[in-house]
Amino acid sequence: MSLANQGQILLQANKPRPITRIDFRLKNQRGRLTEKPPMFANSIAIITLIIVTGLPVLFFLLWAVLDGQFDQIEATAEEIFDTDELRYPRPWENSRQQEERVSAYGRPILDPWNDWRRWL
Amino acid sequence: MNEAHAQAGLASELQKDNVVDHQQKRISAVETAKLDESSRTPVLLGFFFAILWLIQGTWFGDISSFKFDWPNLLSEEPYLTFGRLRPAHLNAMVYGWASSAMFAVSLWMMPRLCRVALQWRMSAIVGICIWNIGVLVGIVLLLAGTSDGLEWLEFDRHTADPLMVAGAALVGASVWKTLAARTVRHLYVSVWYVAASYPWFLIIFIAGNLPIFRGVESAAVNWFYAHNALGLWLTTINLGLIYYLMPKIIGRPVYSYWLSLIGFWGLALFYALNGMHHLIGGPMPSWMIATSITASILMVIPVVAVGINQHMTVVGRFGAMRYSPALTLLVLAAMAYTAVSLQGILTALVNVNRVTHFTHWTIAHSHLGLYMFVTFSLFGGIYYILPRVLGREWPSIGLIRAHIMLIGIGIVLYVVALGIGGVLQGLSLLDQKEGFEASVRAVKPWLLVRSLAAVLITIGHLAFFFHVILMIYRPRPADNPPFFFVRPVLIRGKK
């Protein structure tokens, strides 16, 4: 290819191209163009997923209320402790905290060594 | 059949009785030990796989981090390139380490909380094995170059993912069967958290892996999954663990049980809407972004409720952290949960997101959540659970202290360095006068600090791994009492 031809090709390549308008309209099922923009307007998938994830929560909340799950709040909070577990004095507690423990849970178990050993 | 009916009737009677007075229904430490025995095998299996993945995932993360400082490092082999190692790191940590450990934690907690031996134990054991085979297949394929190309969902949907679904379903079946067979009527808040996590995870994981979504909707479903995997899977089981162990170790009930319920139900109701805030600025419908930002802001309610509750439970008794490494890690994890949640809410705001999106800030944020909250919580759980399940004490106080110090300093350095670096990077990217190279120069020193932090964390993990092996092969003599009751472990204690 001669140098002149190469120059012509280069010029053509650099020539400003006419601005073309892109037709954003979509074709409907009958093949006709619609005015609906191709924007992602809704996500049925996300809406469905949120309902599937969230609706059972409402159901279980209703069940919990009707079943009386929230009736004995304080007792439920203490449900995790074993027998006499709250009567053991803890070495990090100050005297006021130890007194609170005694008044709330009764006489302390002063020799917890063996029990703690069993628990490891 | 009749026997089954009789057992069901008995359980129902026990549940009814329990309404009368919880104080009289407490069980002894011996009975608790029997419940632990029922879940021993699956719990140990879960922790075994988890610790193996922890070490493997850490190496993947380290090499990925070093590649930012030395781009030519290990770049000859395709399986060692950043594009494969980085997703391998994420998936090994989320599905290998965290999820396996969470299976173990769930299966240990449920019998204790439901006051019944673990049901369908074999289902749990098989489930954990199948899950880990799935993770192994996924990691091998990732390194070989097979990826689904979706964030947090890189594992091959034809091979690895079905195995993981089957594994999680089998473990979940054991959890729910134990819940159904419970002998207490009132469900402690940890039960709500743990039991809800399994169906949530299965729904979001299956939905995220369906190959039917295209284009923008694929991105939307991807972030629906990724965000909810954090909030409705990783967060829930770990909050359940913290709500159980923190009062147990301190020796007092949670400060306000009402607040704990607000925390759970608030999360359950608002969280699923949050994921779209990852796509701010993307070609998403504005209503979806606005809804997501609103829901993210609403998350202040459960987050603050949990934060206040956990703080007030420990306040005045922070000295207990010197005695118990489990409590130390759980308190740090609880603080990290509050911090990462508030940071997440802040990041969901458009003006903040404009700076931080596509920067290393996101990596700092995810490590604050996935490491300082989730991993610290699981370490705390392991420190508490393993001695009870194995019947052996941790042999070295020094190794515990070294582990906590190394990972603690490491992760703070990591989050601070990448947080600052991410903001500088974001501001540089927004500055039209500067080229892209300027943003790279701005963040480079902070990436080096991140690599240093990663080394500290790795040494911490190796210390922990070595300690677990030591515990199995050279346990402390059985007549030694538990360290956390004898002397402080973390600051004043002696070896």
Give the DSSP per-residue string, B377-437. HHHHHHHHHHHHHHT---S-HHHHHHHHHHHHHHHHHHHHHHHHHHHHHHHHHH-TTS-HH
The amino acid that residue B194 corresponds to is: V
Angstrom distance (rounded) from CA A69 to CA A55 = 19
Residues from chain B contacting residue A88 (CB–CB below 8 Å):
251
* Pick from A46, A84, A90: CB nearest B288: A46
Distance from CA of B14 to the nearest CA of A (A): 14
Of A52, A72, A85, nearest to B203 by CB-CB distance is A52
CA distance B387 to B376: 18
**CB–CB of B456/B406 below 8 Å?**
yes
Chain A residues within an 8 Å CB radius of B322: 92
Interchain contact A10–B (C-beta under 8 A): no
* Residue A94: other Cβ atoms inside 10 A: 11
Supply the pLDDT for residue B480: 47
At B322 the pLDDT is: 83
Of B100, B125, B83, the closest CA to residue B48 belongs to B100
Task: Flag whether residue A111 sits within 8 Å of chain B, measured between CB atoms.
Answer: no
Please, which residues have CB within 8 angstroms of residue A10's CB and are 6 or more apart in sequence? none
Contact A91 B323 (CB under 8 A): yes
Q: Which residues of B touch A61 (CB under 8 A)?
A: 265, 268
User: Can you tell me the distance from the alpha carbon of A109 to that of B2, in angstroms, rounded to the nearest whole number?
Assistant: 44
- Say yes or no to pLDDT of A112 above 60: no
pLDDT band at A10 (very low <50, low <70, confident <90, very high): low
Judge whether B41 and B211 are in contact, CB under 8 Å: no
Report residue B114 CA to chain centroid gap: 22
CA dihedral A99, A102, A108, A110 (to 10 degrees): 0
The pLDDT value recorded for residue A44 is: 87
Of A24 and B236, the structure prediction assigns the larger pLDDT to B236
Residue B437 touches partner A, C-beta closer than 8 Å: no
pLDDT the model gives residue A90: 81
* A115 and B CB contact within 8 Å: yes
CA angle B256, A69, B193 (to 5 degrees): 65
What stretch of H or E contains B461? helix B436-473
Give the pTM: 0.88
By the CB < 8 Å criterion, does B265 face chain A?
yes
Amino acid at B470: L
ipTM for the whole complex:
0.84
Report the DSSP beta bridge partners of residue A33: A27
CA dihedral B405, B407, B410, B411 (to 10 degrees): -120
Nearest to B485 among A49, A57, A91 (CB): A91
- Decide if A73 and B257 are in contact by the 8 Å CB cutoff: yes
When pLDDT is cut at 50, 70 and 90, the band that residue A17 belongs to is low
Q: How far is CA B79 from the centre of its chain?
A: 27
Identify the CA nearest to B453 among candidates B345, B344, B372: B372
Q: Report the chain A residue with the minimal C-alpha distance to residue B273.
A: A50
Contacts of B317 in chain A (CB under 8 A): 90, 92-93, 97
Q: Do A72 and B186 touch (CB under 8 A)?
A: yes
Q: Torsions phi, psi of A33, nearest 5?
A: -75, 135
Which ranges of B272-375 would DSSP assign to H, the alpha helix?
286-298, 300-314, 320-323, 325-347, 350-356, 361-367
Q: How many CB atoms lie within 10 A of CB B197?
A: 24
User: Which residue from B337, B473, B487, B310 is spatially nearest to B401, judged by alpha carbons?
Assistant: B487
If contacts are CB pairs under 8 Å, which of residues 71-90 in chain A contact chain B?
71-86, 88, 90
Contact A90 B388 (CB under 8 A): no
- Token duo for residue B27: 């069980």
A1 secondary structure, DSSP code: -
Question: Among B228, B137, B117, which Cα is nearest to B182's?
Answer: B117
pLDDT at res. B278: 84
Residues of B in Cβ contact (< 8 Å) with A76: 22, 186-188, 257
pLDDT of res. B477: 59
Distance (Å, rounded) from C-alpha B416 to C-alpha B421? 8
Which chain B residue has its CA at the smallest distance from A52's CA?
B203
B27 sits in the region (left: phi over 0; alpha: psi -120 to 50; else beta) called: beta
Nearest to B100 by CA among B78, B133, B123: B133
For residue B156, give the nearest of B168, B170, B145, B167 by alpha carbon: B145
B250 touching A, CB under 8 A? yes
What pLDDT does B167 receive? Answer: 98
Q: Check if B429 contacts A (Cβ < 8 Å).
A: no
Tens-binned pLDDT, residue by residue, of chain B (495 aa): 455 555 555 555 555 544 444 445 678 778 888 999 999 999 999 999 999 999 999 999 999 999 999 999 998 999 999 999 999 999 999 999 999 999 999 999 999 999 999 999 999 999 999 999 999 999 999 999 999 999 999 999 999 999 999 999 999 999 999 999 999 989 999 999 999 999 999 999 999 999 998 888 899 999 999 999 999 999 999 999 999 999 998 889 999 999 999 999 999 998 988 888 888 888 888 888 899 999 989 999 999 999 999 999 999 999 888 888 899 999 999 999 999 999 988 988 889 999 998 899 999 999 999 999 999 999 999 999 998 888 887 888 889 999 999 999 999 999 999 999 999 999 999 998 988 999 999 999 999 999 999 999 999 999 999 999 999 887 665 554 443 444 445 554 443
Residues in chain A: 120
Predicted confidence at residue A83, as pLDDT, reads: 81
Q: Tell me what pLDDT residue B264 has.
A: 96
Q: Is the pLDDT of residue A14 over 70?
A: no
As given in the structure block, the two tokens for residue B224 are: 């629906």
Whether A49 sits inside 8 A of B224 (CB atoms) is yes
A75 vs B contacts (CB less than 8 Å): 21-23, 186
Cβ atoms of B299 and B266 closer than 8 Å: yes
- Residue of chain B minimizing CA distance to A112: B485
Per-residue confidence (pLDDT) for residue B287, from 0 to 100: 87
Subunit contact A53:B272, Cβ cutoff 8 A: yes
Predicted local confidence at residue B267, as pLDDT: 94
pLDDT at A93 over 50: yes
Do B243 and B254 contact (CB within 8 A), yes or no? yes
Q: Which residues of A touch B316 (CB under 8 A)?
A: 97
Tell me whether B186 touches chain A (CB under 8 Å). yes
